[in-house]
Structure 1
Amino acid sequence: MATERLGISGLLLAGLLSGCGGGGGGGGGSSSDEAAPDISGVISLESRTRVDLDTADDIRVGESVTNDSRSAAQDLPGTTVTGGYLSASSGRYNTGTQDVFEYFEDRTDIYAVRLAPGDRIALQVFESPDAYFSFGTLPPQPVLKLVSSDGSLEEDLDVGQSNTVPESFPEGGYFLEVGTSGGAPFRYVLTLADEGAASVMNTRYVEPDFLLGEAIVTFKPSLMPQTGSEAVARAMSANQAHSLGGGSWRVRQNSGAPVSAFSAQSSKQSRENTVTWIRELRESPDVAVAEPNYLYHAQQIQTNNDPLYSRQWNHPLINLPLAWQVAPDGGTGIGIAVMDTGLFTATPGTRDNWHPDIDDNVLILNATMDYVSAELDIDDRFGDPDGRDTNPADPGDGKSQSSNFHGTHVAGIAGSVDGNGEGGIGVAPNSNILPVRVLGKEGFGNSADLIAAVNWAAGRNEIDVINLSLGGLGPSQSLEDAIDRAYGAGKLVVAAAGNEGTDEATFPAAFANVVGVGAVGRSGERAPYSNVGPSVDLVAPGGNASSNDGLIISTWGTDDGGNFVPGYAGLQGTSMAAPHVAGVYALMKSVDADMTPDLFFQFLAGGQLTSPPPNRTEYGAGLIDALKAVDAALDGDTSTILAASPSSLQFNGVVNRQEFTFAKYPSNAGITINSVAELPSWLSIDLGELPVSVNTSDPVSVSVDTSGLDESQSYRADIEISYTDDSDEPTVSPLTIPVTLQFGGSPEDLDAGRHYVLLVSTDDDRETIAQTVVNVAEGQYQFAFDDVAPGEYFLVAGTDMDNNGLICENGEACAEYPVNGLPEKIVIGGEPLSGVTLNTSFRRPTIAAMGMPRYGFEGYRLKTDSGDQDEPVRQVETDR
């Protein structure tokens, strides 16, 4: 191992000889000046990438530049992804090795930037493993503040959530002050983006929880009729297989206890075993889809037992009292399936005695309505079988402030009875409420149970709308297929957009055929917890306790000591917002029996269901307006709508060509594009020869020509497309697609921080065999390795901004060959490998891009030497 221990010191000399772009190999110095290195290449940077000027890695080597005052603020472009580091104190990490890794005090980073109302700001924080710190060390205490350049305007922003520059802050220069008031050191990523930008908060590997030893499998269509449970189990090398309907199967690897464990509560090895097995299932030529059995959970924030149900401010906010006058039947005969924790009953072992404020509207079918499987079930103590059964009663859990009775609260919002002298009034007070239990222990459910329930609902004529006040980060293809099946059967699916305050997609809300609902408070402003971006189609009242903006009052219950007593509670969350929309749809369908999900989306695209939004990122199409919605259903004024996906385009001077697809409402409308308004000389669209018929399956190309443009400026334009339909119905015209061009700046401005380039073993140990250190030059990093032993390696690179000995952690820049998140082996030996290219970024690929989530990834450990342990073990060969 002595040769390996020479890795860093040997590389240092090579780095000094080759300049800031260079680097030597893992086993020693270069064999000759003329000989080609064993492997060499270039690491490129994402446009507008920046790095904090005083990271721990910079402080360690004495290269940090102060940016802790407004007079020394670090300049950033208006659109950027910036990685940084802060710490309230200095100390040493407890890495469990003999090597010394220190963190250094740096309490404030201040940035100067030009912003405009509607621009988005996000700060995400990441810390080292808990084991690296002494017992009792507090978690990081980050703060984020927006201050105008003259100090006259100031606002505290939320950390870990999406913030929008307020309308009261005029376009101009601002300071963004990132600080820490205590706790452990941390890495951060500060993202600045335009209002219409796509998801900007994907700076971590998302790890949705799942059930160990289970998979959701869908066979290719030609094989579906020929498969049975035993055949499926054998084919999947599993012990059990259960049909979920629609060609999907729940497959269990074992029949014992391990399948009941949540992945988040289990060892890394257990998680990896399940993921490896699912990857193997995907290789089967008979399998169309194989994915984890993801967990979803109720989307409430907190409970507050408050019987003042008269405080239903949410009703007038969406013009509900006026809508009831126009739709006096109140949703009579319309079925709302509330797929949730079940429904409160005073006698949970029976299928009656429901909450008195909902009882008259409850519709129980002679069918399975409790889909919670055994490992999540908690109703066996009342005589129900362990697992699925026909009783959707919520069994409670004997705990106060729990997520049980969440479904009761949701059902009450959608359809509490009017005029019974009990409690409040639901949005559709005469609708049929069909409780379907899909969430069990602690408000959790799994995708297999939800898929089975949605497939069942798709075939029930009693159900018109499905409410899913639940969600998670797992993008289950099998669940999306089930929802598409329900949509095709005429069921509108409404889902909570999520309560993390981010633009990370939450499922099922982010699926195309789902109405994703964000939350607003009494003032009509977005609640700070409500997600934004791809999960939000519109918003509805969800409550906002943080600003005394009111909670949503609805039905609840208690089960202390096994005594079930109905009651009321105030909650907040997108869970509360979703049933407002489900109830409004019931009102619409009660006045127009021909109302369909496709028609609902058509009205939504035409602005006929909502009040105009301040911005689409936070509010989607805007706040649901019950009166407008019922009027639209009554009038039947179904304007033909042409939309684009994505709805806006961003270019950066590097990516100068993008595509979008058209969407039509109604989907079977014949639409002809007649003309495109004159575009600026730098922008062009390829629609072919006009007029042209719209085909939603054909992508449309948009390009920008940057020659002659001032790269210090930003450019904006709208593509306006005029169209007509083939009927006598009126059309909304033109379709407007906003376009933004923001250059990445000069190459010399790009910097993601000092990069450590590693050759890593391909076994489970992922040992670093060789490494070099490179700095940015003209917007890229150049690296080279000599004297590398022949064999297979992973080639990776990244920053160690917090100086804890790991690169590529969440919040650090990372590059993996050939694609970040999907490293592949390279073979060294024989002819030298040159021209190898990687791309580094503070962003992380989505689950969809990787194909499967990346569980338990903790970064790559730097190779160290056995020198003086009182000094940092790493050096740097050149000044940055």
Structure 2
Amino acid sequence: MRDLPLYISLYLLILLTSCTGQTGEESSSSNAGLRYTISGTITGLNGSLRLQTNNVTLTTRNNGSFSFQGNFIDGSNYNITVALQPTGQLCSVNNAIGSINSANVSNITITCIDYTFSISGNISSTVLTVVDSDINDPGSQTNISNNTAASAQIINNLSTVHGFASLNGTNRTGDRFAQAGDPSDYYQLNLQQAQTITLQAVDFSGTETLQGDLDLFLMDANSNIVAQDTAGTEFKSITVPSDNFYYILVAAASGSSKYTLRLNSANTAGLSSPQSADFVPGELMIKFRQNLSINNFSNANTHLTLSHHNRSRASLAQMDTANTSLKLFSHHNNTNNSTPEFLHELKSLNFTSYEKIITLREIKRLNSQTDIEYAEPNYIYHALRVPNDDFYNRQWNYPAINLPQAWDITTGTPPSGNVIVAIVDTGVFLNHSDLTGKLTPGYDFISNITNANDGDGRDSNPDDPGDNTQAGKSSWHGTHVAGIVAANTNNRTGVAGVSWGAKIMPLRVLGTQGGNSSDIIEAIRYASGLSNRSNRLPAQKADIINLSLGGPGFSQSMQNTFNAARAAGVIVIAAAGNDNSSTLFYPASYDGVTSVSATDFLNEKAPYSNFGSRIDIAAPGGNQRVDLNNDSNGDGILSTLVNETSASRSSAFVFYQGTSMASPHVAGVAALMRAVYPTLTPDEFDNALRNGKLTNEAGDAGRDDIYGYGVIDALKAVQEAQRLSNGGTPPTTPAIIVATPSSLVLNLQNTAQLNISNQSSTPASITGFSDNASWLTVTENTVDANKLGSYNITINRNGLNNAIYNGTITFNLSTGEVLSVQVSMLVGNISTNGDIGLVYLLLIDSASGNVINSISPASLGNGNYSYIFNSVPNGSYQIIGGSDIDNDQLICQPGENCGGFPVVSALQDIPVSGADVTRIDFNIDIVSSVTSVSIPSQNKATSNKTVNNTPLKQPAKPPANNN
């Protein structure tokens, strides 16, 4: 039995030897039994790829080498296929089929490419947007000069224009205006009265190349300048004076800037808006800093002649306009001194307008110098117009303001001395019988001999020779005003004055051509006992100054003068103006000046009277078109005047109307107060006014924009003077309820929000609200227990005819006052199509933020555009687009068009996954806020128009809907 294992072992050995010898007979190769690999390279893969051969699979996400390891024997066949393609890609295999030939296989190549898709949509331009026809972007195909009136661009009267202007060439390679500037843009259109036009110089505070100051002018068909705003500020605004055809001129005063020009709807409800002021061409007011050598200044500016060399106050400078070279106006790095084309044209069309623009340019040049505190126009003021048409149908009389009751307390004679009221006007007929003994020495401050009409310039004789060279045409305005204040009273002849005891200081500033700010300033300084160009001072300064004159146009010199007068203890009263407008009217609108509107016989607003935020008080102004008291005379205001029918002047008494007549009523009452309380200060007068101690309500409770704090009440005013004289103190500040915005101009909008808040610590609430228009609805949105907060405003245009509509929302307050908000909206068959001009649409990769493509949309007409991005791989994207009117390689800057999906302020990702994406629609509008982000916001574009080495604005002239 022990021999059996040996037997079996020998048997197995023989068997194995036999088998080995059989394999060797079938294959003589020395590689029999080895295993081989199949490998290669992958390129373009972006995802997960699954490969397969001979039931063996391989999954990879990597480009580069791949390998099927050790699974194949010599002589075996293989066929490499793609079992699963990566998402959005197509991978193909080269050298996919073969046999193992005693070696590894390494020549397999797999190439992956993306499936590509498209993103498309439509773009809508915001209604009534317009592109300046000549902009700095050379890619813009439309480049039509609008530099002169003859080539003015036609626009709609409610348009919003975005454009570019440059005084000189930008000196920047690639710019359309690199060498020669684009100093002016003219627009022509029909405008409606009270439309407001606003201009934003977007790059006013810019840096380097793009920094500039732009001016705004409105001209009639004959190129007369009817309105202008040339303030050295980013925003300009003017108001259209009447329905007519106009040119709007945007002119570069310095540098280069984008701009936005907005034409707002007519403001027939009287919403406040600026009005341009007239001024003397070739004259300007200059205030020098104390460190300036005036002699050096004069030597360097020989074209200017100064009225005096006193640095403590403004000097009147006269300029030789006709022969002054425009080279004098080079400033703000202006290197090209050639005269702009539009000034050449204007010089031949309208020399006065040319002179005015040159004067304003000289003012800007001076204001750019560090040793000049300010330079400003020499504004022209006029005696207030006396409206005489059927609209002016209101009137007044003395009992309406309780003068008889006040006279029971005082007739205006103080315990000692005199109360003096300075009448700054046309002068006074010194020999008028009803002014005998009422006049103190005055002065004639009219500097221009022609304007003075008395044969000389400034002199010590304030007698009024007439403000018209034609007989019978003079107004004798100052004489009429003086009689209202203090005509001899209770003397059995003539008329009564408000204050029987007051004295008049006649100061002459208005002549045949009106008056200018320089002369008026000197008169105010004289009246206030301050140094002036008469080189004399009154024996007693005035207690009150009355100014029944004015016009538009703020003057810093005059504001400074009123500050000085007020500091000297003088109360200043001025007429609000006779234009039935809320436009700011000066000097009534200066700080520290009491502005007086006019009422009629019924104690209601006179139809001509101005109104608005600066009205402080109302007084009788009259209305000569009616006779409501049946005395056979128009209900004007009767006062002293001049009869000039004979060779010599004689005393007369005539009815006039206007805020010129209302103002001296308040001045006269202030004189009565000073008689009772001689130390009455301007602050005490103002505090009493604000707290209702001098007035009666005429309509709405509290202060409003028509009557201010109410109609003057002489009795209450005198009683308040008695209280102050006995040690009374002014009450605390009342509640101040305001609306934000203060008015609503909705144009084509259907909804808006209005916020009502209390700006004082004194509590108050809204007790009710209402509106006066059928198309206007007001509802609470979010309010607190006092009903303060936000309100919804809704417009319903159904059934309304084409027109501009105005309404009023009234909020009743717990203080007894009311807050009124004006609402304006438009109904009209007006073409509202907008124009976006050349726009660059950018396709941005959401993950990296890189711009991967740029195209421009194609116009479909009517303000609509289409676009399509082709060859878009799978991924996630954002779309933004905008113009580049200044060619600085940045889009979506203020003053340029901008839009994105769905809105530029909140871009959303657009996923592309195996299919075309359509209907990616959005709107493009003009960026008006200086805080809006530009694209790119952090990476400045290089000169080849790339961001992060990807195209921003390429191609410069892309064909529509192509990449």
TM-score, with normalisation over the residues of structure 1? Answer: 0.55
- Tell me how far apart the structure 2 counterparts of residues 475 and 570 of structure 1 sit (CA, whole Å): 32
Partner SS state of residue 336, structure 1: strand
Alignment of 1:611-650 (within 5 A): 611-615=696-700, 616-636=704-724, 637-643=728-734, 648-650=739-741
TM-superposed CA distance for 1:535, in Å, is 3.6
TM-superposed CA distance for 1:676, in Å, is 7.1
Alignment of 1:429-508 (within 5 A): 429-442=500-513, 444-459=514-529, 461-508=540-587
2:664 is equivalent to residue 590 of structure 1: no
TM-superposed CA distance for 1:537, in Å, is 0.9
Residue type of the alignment partner of 1:581 = V
Are 1:510 and 1:516, in contact at CA under 8 Å, matched by a contact in 2? yes
- Tell me how far apart the structure 2 counterparts of residues 614 and 27 of structure 1 sit (CA, whole Å): 51
Structure 1 residues 591 and 284, CA gap change in structure 2 (3 angstroms): same
TM-superposed CA distance for 1:606, in Å, is 1.1
Structure 1 residues 268 and 464, CA gap change in structure 2 (3 angstroms): same
Partner SS state of residue 484, structure 1: helix
Residue type of the alignment partner of 1:635 = R
TM-superposed CA distance for 1:284, in Å, is 1.3
Partner SS state of residue 547, structure 1: coil
Q: In the alignment, what sits opposite 1:208?
A: 277
Q: In the alignment, what sits opposite 2:482?
A: 411
Structure 1 residues 281 and 334, CA gap change in structure 2 (3 angstroms): same
- Out of 655, 666, 682, the position equivalent to 2:782 is 682
TM-superposed CA distance for 1:650, in Å, is 3.9
- Tell me how far apart the structure 2 counterparts of residues 206 and 274 of structure 1 sit (CA, whole Å): 19
Partner SS state of residue 391, structure 1: coil
Partner SS state of residue 642, structure 1: coil
Q: In the alignment, what sits opposite 2:405?
A: 322
Structure 1 residues 387 and 298, CA gap change in structure 2 (3 angstroms): same
Q: Deviations over 1:768-827 (max 9, x none)?
A: xxx9987499xxxx98558998899999799xxxxxxxxxxxxxxx989779xxxxxxx9
Are 1:25 and 1:786, in contact at CA under 8 Å, matched by a contact in 2? no
2:616 is equivalent to residue 537 of structure 1: yes
TM-superposed CA distance for 1:207, in Å, is 2.5
- Out of 283, 292, 297, the position equivalent to 2:377 is 292
Partner SS state of residue 566, structure 2: helix
Are 1:37 and 1:784, in contact at CA under 8 Å, matched by a contact in 2? no
CA RMSD of aligned residues (A): 5.7
TM-superposed CA distance for 1:491, in Å, is 0.5
- Tell me how far apart the structure 2 counterparts of residues 208 and 772 of structure 1 sit (CA, whole Å): 45
Q: Deviations over 1:390-429 (max 9, x none)?
A: 1111111353564541101111111101234431011112
Higher strand share: 2
The number of residue pairs the alignment matches comes to: 586
Are 1:229 and 1:240, in contact at CA under 8 Å, matched by a contact in 2? no
TM-superposed CA distance for 1:266, in Å, is 4.9
Structure 1 residues 555 and 786, CA gap change in structure 2 (3 angstroms): closer
- Out of 255, 268, 282, the position equivalent to 2:353 is 268
Partner SS state of residue 527, structure 2: helix
Are 1:336 and 1:434, in contact at CA under 8 Å, matched by a contact in 2? yes
- Tell me how far apart the structure 2 counterparts of residues 557 and 749 of structure 1 sit (CA, whole Å): 52
- Tell me how far apart the structure 2 counterparts of residues 741 and 209 of structure 1 sit (CA, whole Å): 29
Q: In the alignment, what sits opposite 1:523?
A: 602
2:439 is equivalent to residue 362 of structure 1: yes
- Tell me how far apart the structure 1 counterparts of residues 130 and 523 of structure 2 sit (CA, whole Å): 59
Q: In the alignment, what sits opposite 2:447?
A: 373
Q: In the alignment, what sits opposite 1:850?
A: none
Residue type of the alignment partner of 2:482 = A
Are 2:752 and 2:794, in contact at CA under 8 Å, matched by a contact in 1? no
Structure 1 residues 218 and 407, CA gap change in structure 2 (3 angstroms): same
Structure 1 residues 712 and 395, CA gap change in structure 2 (3 angstroms): closer
Alignment of 1:64-79 (within 5 A): none
Residue type of the alignment partner of 1:633 = A
Structure 1 residues 219 and 633, CA gap change in structure 2 (3 angstroms): same
Residue type of the alignment partner of 2:569 = G
Unaligned runs of 5+ in 1: 1-14, 40-55, 60-80, 84-100, 104-108, 110-121, 134-158, 163-179, 194-198, 305-310, 346-353, 663-672, 687-701, 721-733, 760-770, 799-813, 820-826, 834-876
Identical amino acids, percent of aligned pairs: 28
- Tell me how far apart the structure 2 counterparts of residues 787 and 300 of structure 1 sit (CA, whole Å): 46
Structure 1 residues 340 and 657, CA gap change in structure 2 (3 angstroms): same
Range that drifts further, 622-631 or 550-559: 550-559
Q: In the alignment, what sits opposite 1:392?
A: 462
TM-superposed CA distance for 1:486, in Å, is 0.6
- Structure number, greater radius of gyration: 2
Q: Deviations over 1:645-679 (max 9, x none)?
A: 785544779888899876xxxxxxxxxx5767799
TM-superposed CA distance for 1:289, in Å, is 2.4
- Out of 596, 600, 607, the position equivalent to 2:692 is 607
Range that drifts further, 788-797 or 389-398: 788-797
Q: Which structure's relative contact order is higher, taking Cα pairs within 8 Å and 6+ residues apart?
A: 1
Structure 1 residues 402 and 292, CA gap change in structure 2 (3 angstroms): same
Q: In the alignment, what sits opposite 2:592?
A: 513
TM-superposed CA distance for 1:185, in Å, is 12
- Tell me how far apart the structure 2 counterparts of residues 265 and 562 of structure 1 sit (CA, whole Å): 40
Structure 1 residues 678 and 234, CA gap change in structure 2 (3 angstroms): same
- Tell me how far apart the structure 2 counterparts of residues 340 and 470 of structure 1 sit (CA, whole Å): 7
Higher helix share: 1
- Tell me how far apart the structure 2 counterparts of residues 244 and 582 of structure 1 sit (CA, whole Å): 35
- Tell me how far apart the structure 1 counterparts of residues 639 and 133 of structure 2 sit (CA, whole Å): 68
Q: Deviations over 1:673-717 (max 9, x none)?
A: 57677999935899xxxxxxxxxxxxxxx99568xx797899987
TM-score, with normalisation over the residues of structure 2? Answer: 0.51
Structure 1 residues 654 and 601, CA gap change in structure 2 (3 angstroms): same
TM-superposed CA distance for 1:742, in Å, is 9.2
TM-superposed CA distance for 1:435, in Å, is 0.2
- Tell me how far apart the structure 2 counterparts of residues 796 and 774 of structure 1 sit (CA, whole Å): 22
2:626 is equivalent to residue 547 of structure 1: yes
2:428 is equivalent to residue 334 of structure 1: no
TM-superposed CA distance for 1:580, in Å, is 0.5
Alignment of 1:817-856 (within 5 A): 831=945
- Tell me how far apart the structure 2 counterparts of residues 419 and 207 of structure 1 sit (CA, whole Å): 45
TM-superposed CA distance for 1:563, in Å, is 2.1
Structure 1 residues 523 and 188, CA gap change in structure 2 (3 angstroms): farther
2:319 is equivalent to residue 254 of structure 1: yes
- Tell me how far apart the structure 2 counterparts of residues 742 and 184 of structure 1 sit (CA, whole Å): 26
Unaligned runs of 5+ in 2: 1-119, 142-153, 161-187, 198-217, 224-238, 248-262, 325-346, 530-537, 629-634, 745-750, 768-779, 797-807, 839-858, 866-879, 898-924, 931-940, 948-959
TM-superposed CA distance for 1:553, in Å, is 1.1
Are 1:24 and 1:785, in contact at CA under 8 Å, matched by a contact in 2? no
Are 1:37 and 1:786, in contact at CA under 8 Å, matched by a contact in 2? no
TM-superposed CA distance for 1:587, in Å, is 0.5
- Tell me how far apart the structure 2 counterparts of residues 252 and 267 of structure 1 sit (CA, whole Å): 18
TM-superposed CA distance for 1:499, in Å, is 0.5
TM-superposed CA distance for 1:269, in Å, is 1.8
Partner SS state of residue 338, structure 1: strand
- Tell me how far apart the structure 2 counterparts of residues 438 and 324 of structure 1 sit (CA, whole Å): 32
Residue type of the alignment partner of 1:485 = A
Q: In the alignment, what sits opposite 1:70?
A: none
Partner SS state of residue 598, structure 1: helix
Are 1:340 and 1:439, in contact at CA under 8 Å, matched by a contact in 2? yes
Are 1:212 and 1:270, in contact at CA under 8 Å, matched by a contact in 2? yes
Residue type of the alignment partner of 1:319 = N
- Tell me how far apart the structure 2 counterparts of residues 510 and 326 of structure 1 sit (CA, whole Å): 32
